[in-house]
Chain A
Amino acid sequence: MRRLTAAVLWLLTLPLVSAAWAQEPFPTRPITLVAPFPPGGVADLTARPVAAAMEKTLKSPVGVVNKTGAAGAVGMQSVATARPDGYTLLLALSSISIIPEADKLFGRPPAFTVDQFEPLALISADPTILVVRAESPWKTAKEFIEDARKRPGQISYSSSGVYGTLHMAIELLSHAAGIKLRHVPHQGAGPALTAILGGHVDALASGPAVVLPHIKSGKLRPLAGWGDKRVAALPEVPTFKELGYPEAEFYIWAGVFAPRGTPDAVLAKLRDTLAAAVNDPDFKAAMGKLQTPVVFKQGAEFKRFFDADARRLAEGVRRVGKIETK
């Protein structure tokens, strides 16, 4: 009997022990940063220097895991449903607000929703730029837009995929400028670039770093950018904002998210860590080599940016609607 009492008492103390364990300093074991895209992509190439810089501040390992599939939905879903303890984080791109909206559009149960995440910090934001082939007749964005108005659905562009970031960039421009372009989706940004270089489409919205070598070699011509400021490497290229299309604002951005429900103390610690990480010289050097501008935003500032971006993209997805293919 005594033994039984002891056993019951011991069992009763178990929750206390684990509660005490939760109060322990964070982190006590390795953190996983999920990149929902394959190695070599923007998410992966940003996640690795971020993880390395976080490791230095936390003095605890931060590992990058590529959980890929369904345009990022697999990895994002895995973090949305992970235990909210700060040990599983997500490095997401703009597509985090596109996927739930597309799910809604098709009336399928969403893989995840934006509300399942706690935004921690924006790490980088790269405005896309509009490029055409050097032989093409359009010398300026104005000529391009005017011609597109005259010939709706005649000028074609390639993208990284339907409802993908590069598709959305063009959709925002099309809406702002009242034009209609012909969409030829490809499977990723690489094939989309190959398509314009081969002359199979007329235009492409792309991150600047990818097309810069082709602009320099004279194969492609930049017309305008989607940023609120001009791209540093292309100071002579105007923004659509300057040209009078402020709604054509779009960035390929990368940010870090935690599952909603993560304890506040842990969130605070992670936010401080990320603030320190972006000032790490190795991190800055790594991003410099990728020619990706570090844009750090936290708290209310990040929320404003994220909400505005999510609103524009959600509207864009709804405007595109279900795609009827022939």
Chain B
Amino acid sequence: VLETLGNLGTGFAVALSPGVLFYGFLGCLVGTLVGVLPGVGPLAGISLLLPATFGLDATRAIVMLAGIYYGAMYGGSTTSILMRIPGEAASVMTCVDGYAMARKGRAGPALSIAAVGSYVAGTASVVGLMLLAPPLATFALRFGPPEYLALLLLGLLVLAYMSSGPMLKSLAMAALGLLLGMVGIDQMSGYFRYAYGLVELGDGIGVVPVAVGLFGLGEILATAGRKTPPEVIRPRVRDLLPSRREWRESGWPIARGTVLGFFIGIIPGSAHIIASFVSYAIEKKFSRRPEEFGRGAVAGVAGPESANNAATSGAFVPMLALGVPSGPVPAVLIAAMMVHGVAPGPLLIQQQPELFWGFIASMYVGNLVLLVLNLPLVGLFVNVLRVPYPILYPTIVLFCLLGVYAVNNSVVEVWIMVVMGALGYVLRKLDLETAPIVLGVVLAPMIEVSFRQSLATSAGSYAIFVERPIAVTLLAAGFVFLLLGLRPLLTRGLDWRARMALAAKGEKT
């Protein structure tokens, strides 16, 4: 422990030196902006700025790029809450209840809770990163294709069990998402599937244009289609801060979201987005008032927002401890280290203690900076809601188009977003949920690839899923959720889900 404290002292000396502090701050600031801009996520932001860091030294470059990564998680909630546009993919769940809170005039509290939750999650998971990185990373490496598949299936079953409203509608939407996720090059054989000769569809349908289209454009089109425009919300100053009740209801969701996000984050793969989905589902289950979810439950903002932030710190665990990329963003960070002649690998912590501990310390500082940066901005951001719709909405559409185009310089992705916007509008009219589509698009390729990789590893034997301890444990847990989900069918009793559906019906008539 003393040694850790000593090392941390060295780290803070590095992190608080003016140069590193400046670039860390810059990274956090850029990250917040990147998160706020619809479409442009942390990966695009880091990729765009990677060349700009080639002139810096390794520590400054890494501190700045990491700042963009976790800074984006703070910024991502802003547009989700205010306009129902996911600033980046991990904020999709925040759109649901965050936006509902904003419609009730509680935009300020939602933003504050998101910022505080992100701060708590960010700081707590850096503690985990600092104390447990090497053993956790070794554990994370044991997640091969079968374990990964089991984890994804477990996540899916938890979601299915805990999702609200009519099960059939949710499943239909998830299936649509899974189908969309099938587009692109078959990773195991090289066939183009449903690409219709468009090379640009080779990598499939990206989650960013889908999420921005379904949520953002769909919402805007739906609003434009109403006879009377919705009232412009004028938030009052005293409504900026969360009430005591809102604080109380956020405490546990933040804690659970943090732990969940951190552990999903350390597992190599790009399943980070499911951290926020599963967190949302869990909070709904734990809530005393599950019927509030979807209509502005503060726990539905606190949990997912904490989870996505904790997942980013978790993703650094395998990167720093072993030099293996746990996702696309850590892969770019590893490249950034290599550009500076730092070889990322198991010896990094010993050979580059200043970089490692400076990085850790900079994350403590960075999270604090982001909190200080974001809380006062709440007052500023909520004023966006005062802008009249004829001005606000065209501006948002413009930013969506620019953001989605900027990610890959691809017009095809802009078209995908436009089509998804139209689809989002239709689905809203039909009263269908759009979040399961996004989840399907994300999960389909991952589930398929990990399933087929598992079978490639075992030469086609399905026994691989029950021979490996982690995989079989996760699958067994998933099976339990499946049985629990089927219980209402057997007992014919109405559970809270059915009661909610009934209540919703009663409301409409």
Contacts and interface: CB of A to CB of B under 8 A. Distances in A.
A144 B192 CA distance: 35
B188 interface: yes
A66 B408 CA distance: 8
A111 B326 CA distance: 31
B493 to A, nearest CB: 43
Contacts of B449: 187
A185 B191 CA distance: 14
Contact of B336 (A40, A102, A186, A286): A40
Contact of B343 (A38, A186, A212): A212
B50 A40 contact: yes
Contact of A322 (B189, B339, B340): B189
Interface stretch (A120-128, A189-197, A272-280): A189-197
B457 A198 contact: no
Contact of A41 (B192, B335, B409): B335
**Residue of A65, A67, A191, A290 with most chain B CB atoms under a 10 A cut-off:** A191
Interface string A190-232: 1101110111110000000100111011010000000000000
Interface stretch (A10-18, A156-164, A236-244): A156-164
Given A70-B199, A77-B199, A198 B453 contact: no
Given A185-B456, A194-B324, A40 B341 contact: no
A323 B190 contact: yes
Interface of B: 46-48, 50-51, 54, 141-145, 185, 187-192, 197, 199-200, 202-203, 268, 318, 322-326, 328, 331-332, 334-336, 338-341, 343-348, 408-410, 449, 452-453, 455-457, 459-460
24 contacts: A38-B332, A39-B47, A39-B48, A44-B335, A68-B408, A69-B410, A73-B199, A73-B202, A77-B199, A102-B190, A106-B192, A183-B456, A185-B187, A193-B324, A197-B141, A198-B142, A201-B457, A212-B343, A213-B323, A213-B344, A214-B345, A217-B345, A219-B346, A289-B338
B143 A163 contact: no
Contacts of B459: 153, 182
A64 interface: yes
A143 B188 CA distance: 29
Contacts of B187: 161-162, 185, 187
A74 interface: yes
A318 B455 CA distance: 24
B56 to A, nearest CB: 13
Contacts of A111: 199
Contact of B332 (A40, A69, A290): A40
A198 B345 contact: no
A204 to B, nearest CB: 12
Contacts of B189: 162, 322-325
B345 A216 contact: yes
Contacts of A197: 141, 322, 324
With most chain A CB atoms within 10 A of its CB, the pick from B199, B324, B338, B456 is: B199
Interface in A298-326: 322-326
B470 to A, nearest CB: 11
A48 B338 CA distance: 14
B409 A45 contact: no
A82 interface: no
Contacts of A58: none
A289 B57 CA distance: 13
A188 interface: yes
Interface string A67-90: 111110110010000000000000
Contacts of A25: none
Interface string A236-258: 00000000000000000000000
Nearest to B203: A69
B150 to A, nearest CB: 14
A176 interface: no
B121 to A, nearest CB: 25
B141 A194 contact: yes
A324 B336 CA distance: 38
Contacts of B50: 39-40
Contact of B268 (A38, A153, A191, A286): A191
Contacts of A40: 47, 50, 331-332, 334-336
A182 B456 contact: yes
B203 A70 contact: yes
A109 interface: yes
Residue of A73, A77, A322 most packed against chain B (CB within 10 A): A73
A323 B186 CA distance: 11
